Every structure is written in structure tokens, then in C-alpha cells.
Amino acid sequence: MKMIKATIVSLVILCVAACGGDKYSKMSNAELAEKKRHCDSIPKKSAVFANGCEKISKEIKSRKKK
């Protein structure tokens, strides 16, 4: 019974986390620009860091479209 409760609680937490807004959409334009400059300054990026840089670029492009 405890295992079922733990599983349900875990699923609820995952659903809430997945539905939350992206952290980059909450940043100001200046913060995004600073993060982008930091991304551009590093030549060899780890996979995780490169993924974050890609998300920053997508957020900047979506703001430019708006």
C-alpha cells in the first residue's frame, strides 16, 4: 500500500513539474542575452550545457517573433 501511495505522489509531482513554465521564459531579455554570451564564449560544451544553450537560443528566437 505504501508503494502505491509513493508511486502516485511521484507521478503527481512529475506532472506538476512538467506543466510548469520553462525557466527561460521567466527571464528578462537582459538575463537571456547574458546567458547567450556565456554560451557563445565556451567552445567545447558538454551535452547538458549545449542543450541549455539551445533552449536559450530558441527562447530568444521566439521572443523576436513576438
pLDDT digits (tens, 9 = 90+) for 21-31: 578 888 899 99
User: CB of 25 within 8 A of CB of 59?
Assistant: yes
Average of per-residue pLDDT across 46-63: 89
Please indicate, yes or no, if residue 17 is contained in any of the structural domains. no
Please indicate, yes or no, if residue 53 is contained in any of the structural domains. yes
Average of per-residue pLDDT across 50-60: 90
Counted domains in the chain: 1
pTM: 0.62
Pairwise CA distance, residues 40 & 59, whole Å? 15
Nearest CA-CA partner of 60 in 29, 38, 16, 34: 29
Which residue, chain included where needed, has cell 536559450? 56
Please indicate, yes or no, if residue 11 is contained in any of the structural domains. no
Task: Report CA dihedral (27, 28, 30, 36) to the nearest 10 degrees.
Answer: 30
Please indicate, yes or no, if residue 60 is contained in any of the structural domains. yes
Please indicate, yes or no, if residue 36 is contained in any of the structural domains. yes
**Res. 3: pLDDT tops 90:** no
What range defines the domain where residue 31 resides?
22-66
pLDDT tens figures, 35-50: 999 999 988 888 888 8
